Structure 1
């Protein structure tokens, strides 16, 4: 079932408050810092009023709290469980090695060595480094207090993490605005590369392989950045009460739809450049396009770039503006369809009037057609 498209507009107060609000939405790390500070403070207070021996080591509670508030809701729970498991394993390593009659320096080396071997265990995920930290703390600080220290250390980490998870559940992150900005950079990068390629084909003819391979690779970081931002937003939406609000829910669905379309558009441009670098360059007799098809293909590339630039954006104001944006995007795709039909006809005509088969030219048309289908969805 198609996702209803409604305009999504961020509420913007006036003046300085408006600028602060936009900056806050553009930098989700700021909200993470505030939540981390709040969680750490609450965890410290709880640890101070806890009975002994917990109150003797209150500084471990903020560690667990900060860990649980620096990521999404689902990841904070997973990271907390993994870190507690790593802490326990590190403590067991330190206490077990401590039972052996080893001199201090050798004892430390053995503990650290075994703990480092455990860091890569899949069960710990990204929290494996806590194994080493826990082992060293228990070996050095907890050597005199034994099980009291281990219990306090682990228990305070759990308490702090629980506080952090609770705050994350009440104020869950949902970084939609940074994802929109990343998609905007991707949209601009894909369209710009298509336009520059079209100009090159008309003005310069065959491609310079070294230059265009470098141009092709320059788009990779933009694509990866957009995919990472969208993946973070997708993960943040899980177990997130903010997605239940109709506006955020529609915005999230729209974000996923447009991310898929732009990702396909980027793949199409990459494939086009890759094929042209190989088949439309100096030194080849059986070029992909030749001087007869280059202008037609360049025009289709420009139509593709226009369709990418006209792809729907989230901040469209009211219903009237949303309809206008949707119509502009549909018109751009319709122009791309017409350009593709002309390109296909030109390829067929070239095949009939030449000794070359122009298979690569047909593949280029198919690639752009895939891009048009993605932008139409």
Structure 2
């Protein structure tokens, strides 16, 4: 099956919906708790209880770390907006030009890098201050800021006390889809090599461009799982699994690049004009067997296999497929060595494919050789 079909059939909507519902119930709990506590606050601050649940929503983010980071930004943006609105009220009252000026300046303040994640809060807080608090600016400012602070505290408490689990399951599904896409494309190319040459069908060559969205989705999922682990009280038991998924994702990304290069070489040998790349007919079947063996080795690999876990099992289906893939590649290498006296053009394409297949098997056996530091989970 092509990578595009795998991506379309196993889309991210169920994962996103599940993740959003986890956020929704925590946000609902935080808003309800903030509202209840806000109604108990005495004095002028208690006159504005509806800003407490709004403050709670401002810091309800998918990860604990994001909630902590956004709490100060939310309070700063609210304070900036309230101060801007109060200034407009004292200078012009609730006049149209005061509203316009507050909105213009508030949106401009949203360009400040520190406030940019909460950029919409600044003009909204300014508008609330002008339109609702014009009759009592001092009391309104105290009530707005006090209740917002209460809501933010409640939101942080809910996110820290009831943190969501890291999104390792979602990352595992995206890793599995990318793994299946790579194995499927290798099997497709092996089938093409076994057919009449040059191949009659051409859709397989276009599938090499289908890996980009799958790689992007895998990167995002692994990064989200890593972000969800930080500052999360529930995440310590998930760390080893997250580490394996990160390593597996890096291995698969490197495999995708190599497999895409293999398909490019095959396309050039089949249809490209003015090329010296020629695939010896006697080598097509052995190369196809090596590709098929590599596809089975990749398809049977678990994340700990792709991570190059030295403590992984020495037997089992994956070990069997990996040994068979090495054996099939060894047969191709022997045939190439026996054709050294033939024209170099006949073995050039096969040599390039064999080199890439060997690098693929090295990755499947030992894990990634190049790591992306920003995705690497930090020690707990």
Check whether TM > 0.5: yes
Q: 1:144 aligns with which of 112, 120, 135?
A: 135
Q: Distance in 2 between matches of 1:313 and 1:87?
A: 45
Distance verdict in 2 for CA 1:109–1:265, change over 3 Å: same
Q: 1:230 aligns with which of 215, 219, 222?
A: 222
| Structure 1 contact 80–158 (Cα < 8 Å) conserved | no
Deviation at 1:44, TM superposition (A): 0.6
2:48 counterpart (32, 54, 57): 57
Measured in 2, the distance between the counterparts of 1:161 and 1:268 equals: 48
Q: Give the alignment's TM-score, normalised by structure 2.
A: 0.78
Rounded Cα–Cα distance in structure 2 between residues aligned with 1:65 and 1:284: 66
For residues 181-235 of structure 1, the C-alpha deviation after alignment (integer angstroms, 9 at most, x for no partner) is 2222222222112211222233254579984564223332222222211111111
* Distance across 2 between alignment mates of 1:35 and 1:349: 67
Q: 2:213 aligns with which of 218, 221, 232?
A: 221
Write the mapping of 1:2-13 to structure 2, written as runs, cut at 5 A.
none
CA 1:210/1:75 → structure 2, altered by over 3 Å: closer, same or farther? farther
Q: Once structures 1 and 2 are overlaid, which stretch shifts more, 193-202 or 43-52? A: 193-202
Q: Does 1:31 align with 2:22?
A: yes
The residue matched to 2:134 in structure 1 has which SS? coil
Q: 2:364 aligns with which of 363, 370, 375?
A: 375
C-alpha distance 180-94 of structure 1, shift in aligned 2 (>3 A):
same
Aligned residues: 345
Partner in structure 1 of residue 173 of structure 2 = 181
| Large movers: runs of 4+ above 6 Å | 23-26, 207-210
Deviation at 1:133, TM superposition (A): 2.1
CA distance in 2, matches of 1:304, 1:250: 27
Give the match's secondary structure for 1:353. coil
1:360 Cα deviation (Å)? 5.5
Gap regions ≥5 residues in structure 2: 1-13, 305-311, 367-380
* Offset of residue 40 of structure 1: 1.1
What is the 5 A alignment of 1:189-204? 189-203=181-195
Task: Indicate the larger mover: 48-57 or 206-215.
Answer: 206-215
Deviation at 1:139, TM superposition (A): 2.7
Q: CA deviation at 1:329?
A: 1.9
| Alignment partner, residue 17 of structure 1 | none
Which of 291, 307, 312 is the equivalent residue of 1:301?
291
What is the match of residue 129 of structure 1?
120
CA distance in 2, matches of 1:113, 1:93: 11
Tell me how far apart the structure 2 counterparts of residues 89 and 369 of structure 1 sit (CA, whole Å).
60
Match of 2:320 in 1: 331
Cα distance in 2 between the residues matched to 1:176 and 1:26: 15
1:1-377 aligned at under 5 Å gives the runs 27-98=18-89, 100=91, 104-173=95-164, 174-203=166-195, 205-206=197-198, 211-212=203-204, 214-245=206-237, 248-277=238-267, 280-287=270-277, 289=279, 291-312=281-302, 323=313, 327-348=316-337, 352-356=341-345, 361-377=350-366
Q: Scaled by the length of structure 1, what TM-score is found? A: 0.79
Tell me how far 1:49 sits from its aligned partner.
Answer: 0.6
CA contact (8 A) 1:66 1:164 kept: yes
Q: 1:151 and 1:109 mapped to 2: Cα distance? A: 23
Task: Kindly state the Cα deviation for residue 48 of structure 1 after the two structures are TM-superposed.
Answer: 0.9
